[in-house]
Structure 1
Amino acid sequence: MPLYKTIQPDSQTVVKIWKIAESYDDLMQPLDLKPNSLKRVLGMKSELHQRGFLSVRHLLREFGYTDQDLYYDDNGKPYLKDGKHISITHSFIFSGVIISDAEVGIDIEKQRPKITIIAHKFVDYEFNYLAENNVDYINKLTVIWCIKESLYKLFATPGMLFREHFLVIPFMLEDKETVAWIDYQNKKHRYNTHFLEFEGFTCAFVTT
């Protein structure tokens, strides 16, 4: 399938989302992967993960990059050789890439009731404005998870905890944006956050 969605939250930042409808062979055929990328994808036990990995490389092509332009640091954070900032995500049948002149993070998650079981592991302050009996409880939890995962990808610092160090300001689902903070080692960092929902999935991305 061609590109699913393109979003430009500001003049420096572009988000592209791919709906993964192609087979593994169709995704692999046009790509020129680095040896370590090829080894990585061939070593994946799940075809779903393989297709997610390859769809991200197709998104890179949509931006005008190739697999050769992408590399990772020791914490697994991706970088582009031209110095632009990038963040990557994939979940089931969707993948996403955000590229910006500033630091960014992105996450996509499937909306599932089981998130309520683990909510206490990543939510603290946010319980003040969440109501378990509301119809949008699962969706709001998923937004919060996606925002905090995006923050974690942006900051890429081992030891940070979703529940203790990340804070999401109250929001309504129709707002499609809010503010989030990282409070870590006596320093506070403020981030703009955007989120959207489609086909039972939530995507959030954060920008500085």
Structure 2
Amino acid sequence: MALYKTITVNPNTKVLIWKIEESYEELEKGLTLTPKCLKRLESMKSDIHQKGFLSIRQLLKLAGYTPYDLYYDENGKPHLIDGKEISITHSFQFSSIIIGQENVGIDIEMMRPKILRIANKFTILEAYQTLGHEEAIVRKLTMVWCAKEALYKMYATPGLSFLQHIDIHDFFVETYRTLGNIIYQGKVTTYEIYFEEMEGFMCGYALKID
């Protein structure tokens, strides 16, 4: 099985990343899925989504959990029955989970020029033109998108806007870290954000600052 990387963020928080190279049958091995999981899996028409779903359950197994230990609240946010916090992501051949004692969020995205077409929905594209060539712009935009998506998953509140309510502090790409704020209903909450780059993909994960 293809555990790609484990990142120990701090003594209480760990990121596990999976590279999906197996067949559906291989990914299914050793898993006992709940009836709800099976129903959801069977409803997926895409082979990519099915494999992503199963690889997440394999990551849960590696972290010492079963699909029966995972549940979702009314806003679609995942939780673990032991009270630990979890966030989940999947993009093409990579999937990942982050587990911690405090609220956490994670996202993986493929770095591709397509992001230029939607950039103004989550940031101000003109601010990135000083980076020069397209590859550098796409890379940083993908990092910002991952950061905002990770924070959005943490907050899990209907009505939260990527553009209006989530602000990512400017950063140098090479540092692979920044801060982000959620400004919502008169309250400002600040988070630490870290990045991991792998094989044309970007992963961003966030933790609340104490």
TM-score normalised to structure 2 length: 0.95
CA distance in 1, matches of 2:188, 2:176: 23
For residue 131 of structure 1, give the secondary structure of its aligned residue in structure 2. Answer: helix
Query: Which residue in the other structure is 1:176 paired with?
Result: 176
Instruction: Name the amino acid aligned to 1:103.
Output: N
Query: Which residue in the other structure is 2:122 paired with?
Result: 122
For residue 130 of structure 2, give the secondary structure of its aligned residue in structure 1. Answer: coil
- Given the superposition, is the C-alpha separation of residues 137 and 129 from structure 1 closer, same or farther in structure 2, using an over 3 Å criterion? closer
- Given the superposition, is the C-alpha separation of residues 190 and 127 from structure 1 closer, same or farther in structure 2, using an over 3 Å criterion? farther
- How far off is 1:131 after superposition? 2.8
Query: Which residue in the other structure is 2:49 paired with?
Result: 49
**What does the per-residue CA deviation read over 1:114-170, in whole Å, with 9 as the maximum and x for residues that have no partner?**
10111000004x854653634411000000000000000000001001011011111
Instruction: Name the amino acid aligned to 1:148.
Output: K
Query: Which residue in the other structure is 1:140 paired with?
Result: 140
Aligned residues: 207
- How far off is 1:12 after superposition? 1.3
CA distance in 2, matches of 1:191, 1:82: 24
Measured on the aligned residues, the alpha-carbon RMSD in Å equals 1.3
CA distance in 2, matches of 1:188, 1:128: 23
CA distance in 1, matches of 2:121, 2:4: 32
Query: Which residue in the other structure is 1:204 paired with?
Result: 204
Structure 2 matches for 1:47-196, cutoff 5 A? 47-124=47-124, 128=127, 131=130, 133-134=132-133, 135-196=135-196
Instruction: Name the amino acid aligned to 2:171.
Output: F
For residue 33 of structure 1, give the secondary structure of its aligned residue in structure 2. Answer: coil
- C-alpha contact (below 8 Å) 1:129/1:170 kept by paired residues: no
- C-alpha contact (below 8 Å) 2:17/2:94 kept by paired residues: yes
CA distance in 1, matches of 2:174, 2:167: 20
CA distance in 2, matches of 1:196, 1:43: 31
- Given the superposition, is the C-alpha separation of residues 127 and 183 from structure 1 closer, same or farther in structure 2, using an over 3 Å criterion? farther
Structure 1, unaligned stretches of length 5 or more?
A: none
Instruction: Name the amino acid aligned to 1:6.
Output: T
CA distance in 1, matches of 2:156, 2:40: 21
Instruction: Name the amino acid aligned to 1:30.
Output: G
CA distance in 1, matches of 2:8, 2:25: 31
CA distance in 2, matches of 1:39, 1:117: 35
Query: Which residue in the other structure is 2:7 paired with?
Result: 7
- How far off is 1:26 after superposition? 1.0
Instruction: Name the amino acid aligned to 1:153.
Output: K
CA distance in 2, matches of 1:187, 1:180: 14
**What does the per-residue CA deviation read over 1:167-190, in whole Å, with 9 as the maximum and x for residues that have no partner?**
111111210111000011110000
Calculate percent identity across the aligned residue pairs.
51
